[in-house]
Structure 1
Amino acid sequence: MLIALYFFMVGIKFIESGFILALGCGAKSAFSIADNPLAGLVIGTVSTALLHSSSTITSITVTLVASQGLTVRQGVYIVMGANIGTCVTCIVVAFGQIQSRSRFQRAMETAAVHTMFNLWSVFIMFPLEIIAHPLERLSVLLSHSKASGGEFGSPVDAVITPFANLIIQVDKETIYAITAGTKECTSDTSLLVGGAFKGTSLSDGQVGATVVVIGFFTLACSLIWFVQMLAKVFLGPTKVLVSRMLAFNGYVNIAAGTIITFIVQSSTVVTCTLTPMAGLGVFTLEQVYPLIVGANLGTCGTTLLASLVVGDSHAVAVALTHFWFNFFGIILFYPVAFMRRPILSWARSVAFFSASWVVVGIAFILMTYLIVPGLLLGLEQLCGLFWYFARGGRHRWHAFLEHKYAEREERRRREETAMLSEVV
């Protein structure tokens, strides 16, 4: 079972590295359009869904904010989107039990409840953040950290990376630097630094696409194997024991999900293990819900550690918004039973219709992570064009640029005057 889980995580690593390599220098342009709340939310959602890694996206965001490539306010919305995007892996895992309608429905409930929790959190906190910026203000207030230096690493990555590097090894530091604007990306720039494809005639894009295909194949095979092993383990007394343990107290389950995820530094490992277990009927949706929201909170540890290594207070503020977003999500949608109902009922509805017609599950993935974000981004661009050409936006924008230029020139003159005064 552990071998199956290992290759499952290797498959996710292949997909992540493949997409990073395929995107290459385009990553900078993708993040550069996150200049308003809606665009930031969409970029965070889609990029995380593609890479199957919220940690990578939040770490890039932290690096961009530290290098002043993004503001803290822009980073907040990308982090919100990353919380939605990371749920796609669970849904993919649920399809591993599609051969049994009842198992698939239970697994899909668990996967969907993860998505619904983050969607409902965004429904509430996204407009509030636009109006009053509570997450940003609270995070900036608490972000005066002077820690810097050192390294941190996920124990899961420490085990998976050596094998994955035999196939593909991507220079993440370079992609962070390119995205942050501290390094230029030229036609000769290659992010492939090792692995079986190093030294071949294939371009970075071709290697990335090939590895993504290998990743999905590895993911599918290991997932089927993993579910079969779980079915053998959780039969009889083991299933009853785990169910009784999780029935003890929901708040204990939240704490357990948080601690376990913080230790392994991967919510994907935790939630993707829980999803097939739920499909096998090891626990109910009500029992797994607190574990999942706890895992959501625990994954914030990776971003916080990354920001402390960077040592920039603005980067720490972005990492704290990740924590506060998930923390307030738990406060909103767990203690009061009435507030859990929309999340649980929506998850059950998605699972029921997906189990009845598989195409509904596929449509749910496409709508949530591709079509709706694309429509929202397109609508935002159309509104921007309408404002620019029909509402005097062009004149206002040029006036704004002239004002900023005048401010910059005035600041430069003051600095030159101050330097001359010191010389005299």
Structure 2
Amino acid sequence: MLIITILGKIAGQTFRESELLGNPVTGLMIGVLATVLLQSSSTTTSIIITMVGAKLIPLQNSIPMVMGANIGTSVTNTIVSLAQSGDRQEFRKAFGGATVHDMFNWLSVLILLPLEVATHYLYHLTGAIVESLNLKESSNYKKDMLKKLTKPFTNLIVQGNHLFAMTDLSDSVVGAILLVLSLVLIILSLIFIVKLLNSLLKSPLSKILNRTINAELPGKLAILTGYIAILVGTGVTMVIQSSSVFTSTLTPLVGVGILSIDRMLPLTLGANIGTTLTGILAALAAPAKAIPDTLRVALCHLFFNISGVLIFYPIPFMRKAPIGLAKLLGNTTAKYRWFSVLYILITFVFIPSSVFALSLSGPTIFMAIGIPLLSILIIIIVINIIQKYRARILPNFCKHGIFCHYSCIPCNLMTK
């Protein structure tokens, strides 16, 4: 709570007079970078909700930031997979299992962010839901919801005596110290969990777990197995209040072969949905007059994740996209272990930082540079896919040229 309060205050001072958030791509990258730093999408979304409730940023500008928080949170389990890099085969499966979360989140954003910019469907959908609740006419509207539950803890932690209460340290310094300590504790805890699971799961117990976790419902009910896994992921994440911890715990299970990547996907989708409960609670804990806006932000997070699930899970063909890309990355890291660190740095640091920096130069320069680079990337991906499945329709220079996955290192990494 103290960290959220302090970081929300600092962020509010930074963006109060800024026009950066008018660019949805900038907002997206801010959400990614903030969550990579905090290692928690719940914390990032709670800060965003606090800022919207305080009128520091417009509600509509907060939606891309929430999407970015979804992407940033997946870095934790990707880092955790590095603990299994000692065994090439375990690392291949663990990295693939970890990055299925990355791929789903990136693919969801690539589809839903342009859709939101064009139609504002999340903005309008959540607006209709909140209006239907008639919060302003409700007798409870004049009361601060959840205040009776949160006030004792707020008084104890924020307003009462705490570890730094008798020091001369500023709120910013205290927040930085607590942030570093919390990150260290999270990393140490995750490393301990990975080591403990590795030691426990290399035993006869692993065969029993393998049959249980990857089991299918009998007969015609087998089609519902994945949806039950989504519910399980949602429920567990709601209890532990962290999708990062849940998916990071599953990553070593994939590495030792107990959990398949195909089963990892629905559990991850459930974790994405379950983690939105934190934002909803944060929204309801806001001052009464701010609840309509804060609740809309939290519901945007919820329906963004539900929309992603509806796009990529019910149709089996669509599941192949995140799963296939994750397996591709796992195979690549098994061959080139250095690629795992490069992937993390490029995906979660270089790309968000570069796009954010580029957006500072203004929309004209941003589009002049960004559109050609994005077009080149799309062309490379499309040509590599055609090379793999329909190479005969390509001209000769594309069959064995700069885009050829047999001779070009970047294409080699992308297609093998």
TM-score (norm 1): 0.71
Which residue is equivalent to 2:21? 34
Matched, 1:359 2:344: no
Counterpart of 1:111 (choices 86, 98, 103) is 98
Counterpart of 2:146 (choices 150, 153, 173) is 150
Which residue is equivalent to 1:346? 325
Q: Is the 8 A contact 1:333 1:340 kept in 2?
A: yes
Which residue is equivalent to 2:378? none
Q: 1:365-384, aligned counterparts within 5 Å?
A: 365-384=344-363
Q: 1:356 to 1:220 in 2, by over 3 A?
A: farther
Counterpart of 1:62 (choices 44, 49, 58) is 49
Deviation at 1:215, TM superposition (A): 5.2
Q: 1:95 to 1:76 in 2, by over 3 A?
A: same
Deviation at 1:352, TM superposition (A): 2.2
Counterpart of 1:260 (choices 236, 252, 255) is 236
Q: Is the 8 A contact 1:96 1:220 kept in 2?
A: no
Question: What letter corresponds to residue 234 of structure 2 in structure 1?
Answer: T
Q: Is the 8 A contact 2:80 2:194 kept in 1?
A: no
Matched, 1:136 2:104: no
Q: Is the 8 A contact 1:65 1:75 kept in 2?
A: yes
Q: Equivalent residue of 2:314, what SS?
A: coil
Question: What letter corresponds to residue 225 of structure 1 in structure 2?
Answer: F
Once structures 1 and 2 are overlaid, which stretch shifts more, 357-366 or 231-240?
231-240
In structure 2, how many angstroms separate the alpha carbons of the residues matched to 1:386 and 1:87? 30
Matched, 1:280 2:256: yes
Deviation at 1:320, TM superposition (A): 1.0
| Number of matched pairs | 340
Which residue is equivalent to 1:393? none
In structure 2, how many angstroms separate the alpha carbons of the residues matched to 1:61 and 1:276? 32
Q: Is the 8 A contact 1:23 1:205 kept in 2?
A: no
Q: Is the 8 A contact 2:31 2:72 kept in 1?
A: yes
Deviation at 1:241, TM superposition (A): 2.7
CA deviations over 1:274-303 (Å, ceiling 9, x no partner): 112222221110011100101101111111
Counterpart of 2:80 (choices 73, 84, 93) is 93
Deviation at 1:151, TM superposition (A): 4.9
In structure 1, how many angstroms separate the alpha carbons of the residues matched to 2:280 and 2:104? 22
Counterpart of 2:308 (choices 329, 341, 349) is 329
Which residue is equivalent to 1:230? 197
In structure 2, how many angstroms separate the alpha carbons of the residues matched to 1:227 and 1:294? 21
In structure 1, how many angstroms separate the alpha carbons of the residues matched to 2:244 and 2:148? 18
CA deviations over 1:202-242 (Å, ceiling 9, x no partner): 76666666666655655554444322321232244432333
In structure 1, how many angstroms separate the alpha carbons of the residues matched to 2:15 and 2:98? 28
Question: What letter corresponds to residue 351 of structure 1 in structure 2?
Answer: G
Q: 1:217 to 1:323 in 2, by over 3 A?
A: closer
Q: Is the 8 A contact 1:143 1:320 kept in 2?
A: no
Matched, 1:250 2:226: yes
Counterpart of 1:302 (choices 278, 284, 288) is 278
Q: Is the 8 A contact 2:8 2:51 kept in 1?
A: no
In structure 2, how many angstroms separate the alpha carbons of the residues matched to 1:152 and 1:357? 54
Counterpart of 2:162 (choices 164, 177, 194) is 194
Q: Is the 8 A contact 1:22 1:206 kept in 2?
A: no
Which residue is equivalent to 2:384? none
Taking only aligned residues, the RMSD between alpha carbons, in angstroms, comes to: 3.2
Q: 1:216 to 1:137 in 2, by over 3 A?
A: closer
In structure 2, how many angstroms separate the alpha carbons of the residues matched to 1:75 and 1:202? 31
In structure 2, how many angstroms separate the alpha carbons of the residues matched to 1:150 and 1:217? 31
Deviation at 1:90, TM superposition (A): 0.9
Which residue is equivalent to 2:110? 123
Q: Is the 8 A contact 2:238 2:274 kept in 1?
A: yes
In structure 2, how many angstroms separate the alpha carbons of the residues matched to 1:277 and 1:241? 13
Q: Which runs of 5+ in 2 are unaligned?
A: 136-140, 217-224, 367-416
Q: Is the 8 A contact 1:256 1:291 kept in 2?
A: yes
CA deviations over 1:148-185 (Å, ceiling 9, x no partner): 4215989xxx9xxxxxx9xxx7x5x9xxxxxxxxxxxx
Identity over aligned residues, as a percent? 34
In structure 1, how many angstroms separate the alpha carbons of the residues matched to 2:81 and 2:12? 29
Q: Is the 8 A contact 1:91 1:111 kept in 2?
A: yes
Q: 1:362 to 1:204 in 2, by over 3 A?
A: farther
Counterpart of 1:77 (choices 53, 64, 77) is 64
Deviation at 1:40, TM superposition (A): 1.0
CA deviations over 1:82-141 (Å, ceiling 9, x no partner): 100111111121112222222222221121011111100000001111111111111111
Question: What letter corresponds to residue 254 of structure 1 in structure 2?
Answer: I
